């Protein structure tokens, strides 16, 4: 058991960075809890790992996000929701922390998205009244309650299979109407209003499958 007080917290110094980089040069990545033991660095394994991944790794791109990166992140977030590691995996040189911070401080404001709207509720079979209203506005020409898609239930929830045991019915907040996914399977009707965003489709399909639609 690690005594929390034995480890230093807060911002990393240049000296600490150097120690960590030296360790990784010799021992490679991983086994983060050994760093403190082998180097005397007073940082816990988690802190070391995070420092490497988010800052020290040569693959990390520093500096401002470009318009292209912004656009990519926006599209990916529409597709994946708050799955920052998945999004970051598609934005070369950016970490999940960078993407998350950039979204929360810049892009969500730019798009006028509140935190509440970013979240979705799992296992709730009901649609919030506000969302229902918005859904109706955006989809007056169809009665979506009668539409059933593979993986969806008739209440507008999506049945998310984890391929092992249970299924859960997930409920989603609205997504913006302009669907950027090419496949007709993901037409606007299914993306707006009470219908789930594409977020949990990643639980049903490989990311590569969804990625082709971007």
Partner DNA sequence: AAAATAACCAACCGCCGACAC
Partner DNA sequence: CGTGTCGGCGGTTGGTTATTT
Residues that bind DNA (CB under 7 A): 1, 4, 8-12, 30-34, 43, 45-47, 49-51, 53-55, 82-86, 96-98, 100-102, 104-106, 109, 115, 118-119
Residue number, 25 or 115, with CB nearest to DNA: 115
Residue number, 17 or 153, with CB nearest to DNA: 17
- Nearest distance, CB of residue 178 and DNA, angstroms: 23
**Contact criterion met (CB below 8 Å) for 83 and 71:** no
- Nearest distance, CB of residue 169 and DNA, angstroms: 17
Q: Is the dihedral of CA 118, 121, 122, 125 positive or negative?
A: negative
- Nearest distance, CB of residue 33 and DNA, angstroms: 4
Q: Which residues contact 125 (CB under 8 A, 6 or more apart)?
A: 155, 157, 169, 171
CA dihedral 162, 167, 168, 173 (to 10 degrees): 60
Does an H or E element contain 45, and which?
Answer: helix 45-51
Cα–Cα distance between 89 and 98 in angstroms, integer?
A: 12
- Nearest distance, CB of residue 202 and DNA, angstroms: 10
- Nearest distance, CB of residue 189 and DNA, angstroms: 26
Residue number, 33 or 154, with CB nearest to DNA: 33
- From residue 143, alpha-carbon distances to 7, 20, 189, 193 in Å are 58, 58, 10, 11
Residue number, 39 or 104, with CB nearest to DNA: 104
Residue number, 50 or 147, with CB nearest to DNA: 50
């Amino acid at each position: 058991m690690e005594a929390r007080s034995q480890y230093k917290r807060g911002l990393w110094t240049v000296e600490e960075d150097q120690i960590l980089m030296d360790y990784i040069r010799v021992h490679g990545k991983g086994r983060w809890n050994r760093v403190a033991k082998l180097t005397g660095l007073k940082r816990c394994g988690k802190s070391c790992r995070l420092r490497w991944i988010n800052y020290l790794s040569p693959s990390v791109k520093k500096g401002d996000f470009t318009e292209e990166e912004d656009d990519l992140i926006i599209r990916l977030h529409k597709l994946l929701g708050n799955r920052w590691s998945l999004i970051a995996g598609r934005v070369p040189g950016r970490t999940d922390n960078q993407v998350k911070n950039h979204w929360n401080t810049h892009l969500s404001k730019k798009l006028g998205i509140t935190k509440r709207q970013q979240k979705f509720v799992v296992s709730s079979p009901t649609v919030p009244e506000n969302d229902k209203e918005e859904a109706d506005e955006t989809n007056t020409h169809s009665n979506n309650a009668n539409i059933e898609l593979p993986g969806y239930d008739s209440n507008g929830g999506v049945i998310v299979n984890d391929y092992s045991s249970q299924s859960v019915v997930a409920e989603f907040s609205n997504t913006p109407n302009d669907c950027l996914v090419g496949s007709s399977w993901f037409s606007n009707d299914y993306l707006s209003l009470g219908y789930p965003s594409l977020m949990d489709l990643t639980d049903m399909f490989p990311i590569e499958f969804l990625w082709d639609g971007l």
